[in-house]
Structure 1
Amino acid sequence: MKQDDKKRRDFIKQMTGLGILGLACGAGIYFAPELKASSPILRPPGAVKEEDFLKLCIKCGQCLQVCPYDSIELEDIDGGASVGMAFIDPRKRGCYLCEAFPCMLACPTGALDHEHDNIKYVQMGIAVVADMNACLALTNKPVPNSAVDRIYEHTKVLTAEEQHNKKVVLRGDDKEKVKLQKKVLEDLDKFRDQPCTICASLCPYPTPEDAIGMVKKDGGLLPEIREACVGCGACIELCPTNVLKVIPREDYLSVYKKGQQ
């Protein structure tokens, strides 16, 4: 077994306590040739083209079970034709581009392509600046406690005490999933009542400065989306004021070459 494959499999076991997932679901694969989503949807990393994804996804939820950040959801009835299929709502929880990409390995049908379990292949979408005037960095306003508290409120792995106190407590017996999510909150806590560069400072891309940076504008700072951005949505989740959004299934050239921001 290759070392990379072993690492990914061990990571999945840490997340769920299960062995190799999804093999038993293979018999349930079906094809729905005309399924179409009503609007572009942010899919997990490794998702094949939307028309193929709709044919291949069997709504098994394996990707959801192994996601260490609880980023993946299954669409409810509002999802239309794609109800029950995996998606990410970045305002609730972005994807943090975990190194092992366990969601891809867990997918039994290829809706999440096993061959694309490397950051260089991931292109979920592209971030854009949707409301420049709302940016705290542009207006030199500090990050309010309420903006950080919101992330605590939708982080599922915390104890009742941590939720109440809005403070993570690191424990030696924390599972890997808990450690990863607490690390995000630890990093975010440093911005309480401080100048905001959250989107650039906490970008999970391996070389974040290639994906997003802060540039001077009108006496303040403003996020600049760069070519390496993969549309993971972490910046959308963490942004205090909804400055950013993700356009699913697009990339830097398709959006920014048209001058759209």
Structure 2
Amino acid sequence: MTPEEKKRRKFIQQISGLGVLGLATVGGILGGPYLKAADLRLRPPGAIPEDEFIGLCIKCGQCLQVCPYDTIKLEDIDGKAGVGMAYIEPRERGCYLCKAFPCILACPSGALDHEHDSIEFVHMGIAIIHNPDACLAKIGEPVPDSAINRIYDHTKVLTDEEYESHKVTIRSDDPEKVELHKTLLKKLEQHRGEKICTICADMCPFHPDNSLAIGMINIKDGRMLPEIREACNGCGACVELCPTDVIKVIPRKSYSDIYSRKEV
């Protein structure tokens, strides 16, 4: 064993008693190759290039703490990336592109670039239609109650009664975070039982004009299908909200990567 290897082993032994936080710290120090996920994770808005992100993310959880929609997760001990590293699992909760981007502003290390805290700079990835034959708008089936109820299960700020009834009321004394969640659910409720599902296009949070990111196109006999457009920044909201898992996000890719070079 070389002196450098002995030094590294001694260092790891010294921090092994620190548990998850110790392992997360080692991740930040030892760097990228040891911590890369087998599948590229979707990172929060403002994330710098992946290798640099892995080196700079200090696993502090500040982005998670300030996320109004509880979108951001931290890798756990069983994950394939560094323990405590920030990521998004869009099928469980997409990013709703808060106008102030508090996650970026809260990042103390530069893993989320403070210069990229506005919508024109947020490029998390690109959505693609990967399962078109399951699209309700294409096959002509209405939106089932289960599709709406599933999103209630993703929402952590409701009362037991609201969870059980699948009905929310915005109150004057609701904290801002609660109001945001309820506003999302009330908008989604408008699609309950809808004969032609347009949830992905109508609920896209890209601002100020979500039609630049996604829209519905007619295909045949009144049937429709989502179309991903150039402004899509891969926030994953459509992935979460889609009743039948028709859309997925490819992290770190752009519209030109997917649609010009035919990469999927």
TM-score of Structure 1 vs Structure 2, range by shorter chain? 0.7 to 0.9
Deviations along 1:142-169, whole A, 9 cap, x unmatched?
1000000000011001111100100012
Deviations along 1:102-135, whole A, 9 cap, x unmatched?
0001011000111100111100000000100000
* Contact 2:104-2:117 within 8 A present in 1 as well: yes
- In the alignment, what sits opposite 1:11? none
Distance 2:158 2:84 in 1: 26
Q: CA deviation at 1:33?
A: 4.7
- In the alignment, what sits opposite 2:200? 199
Deviations along 1:72-111, whole A, 9 cap, x unmatched?
0001234324221000000010000000000001011000
Query: Does residue 216 of structure 1 match 2:215?
Result: no
Distance 1:128 1:105 in 2: 29
- Equivalences for residues 129-140 of structure 1 within 5 A: 129-140=129-140
* Contact 1:72-1:88 within 8 A present in 2 as well: yes
Q: What SS does structure 2 have at the residue aligned with 1:158? A: coil
Question: Are residues 31 and 106 of structure 1, via their aligned partners in 2, closer, same or farther at CA, if it must alter by over 3 Å?
Answer: farther
Q: What SS does structure 1 have at the residue aligned with 2:80? A: helix
1:104 maps to amino acid: I
- Equivalences for residues 162-241 of structure 1 within 5 A: 162-194=162-194, 195-206=196-207, 207-219=209-221, 220-241=223-244
- In the alignment, what sits opposite 2:98? 98
Distance 1:33 1:133 in 2: 39
Q: CA deviation at 1:260?
A: 4.8
2:75 maps to amino acid: E
1:34 maps to amino acid: P
Q: What SS does structure 1 have at the residue aligned with 2:33? A: coil
* Contact 1:38-1:79 within 8 A present in 2 as well: no
Which has more radius of gyration? 2
Distance 1:82 1:94 in 2: 21
Query: Does residue 116 of structure 1 match 2:116?
Result: yes
Q: CA deviation at 1:38?
A: 1.8
Matched residues, number: 234
Question: Are residues 215 and 260 of structure 1, via their aligned partners in 2, closer, same or farther at CA, if it must alter by over 3 Å?
Answer: farther
1:259 maps to amino acid: K
Question: Are residues 216 and 105 of structure 1, via their aligned partners in 2, closer, same or farther at CA, if it must alter by over 3 Å?
Answer: same
Runs of 5+ unmatched residues, structure 1:
1-28
Distance 2:245 2:168 in 1: 25
2:170 maps to amino acid: L
1:165 maps to amino acid: S
Distance 1:145 1:38 in 2: 35
- In the alignment, what sits opposite 1:25? none
Distance 1:237 1:205 in 2: 15
Distance 1:147 1:208 in 2: 22
Question: Are residues 245 and 171 of structure 1, via their aligned partners in 2, closer, same or farther at CA, if it must alter by over 3 Å?
Answer: same
* Percent of pairs with identical residues: 59
- In the alignment, what sits opposite 1:7? none
Deviations along 1:193-228, whole A, 9 cap, x unmatched?
112100000000011000000001133000000000
Q: CA deviation at 1:140?
A: 1.6
TM-score, normalisation: structure 2: 0.86
Query: Does residue 244 of structure 1 match 2:232?
Result: no
* Contact 1:31-1:56 within 8 A present in 2 as well: no
Distance 1:66 1:52 in 2: 23
Distance 1:190 1:260 in 2: 35
Root-mean-square deviation over aligned CA pairs: 1.5
Q: CA deviation at 1:30?
A: 4.0
Q: What SS does structure 1 have at the residue aligned with 2:73? A: strand
- In the alignment, what sits opposite 2:107? 107
1:61 maps to amino acid: G
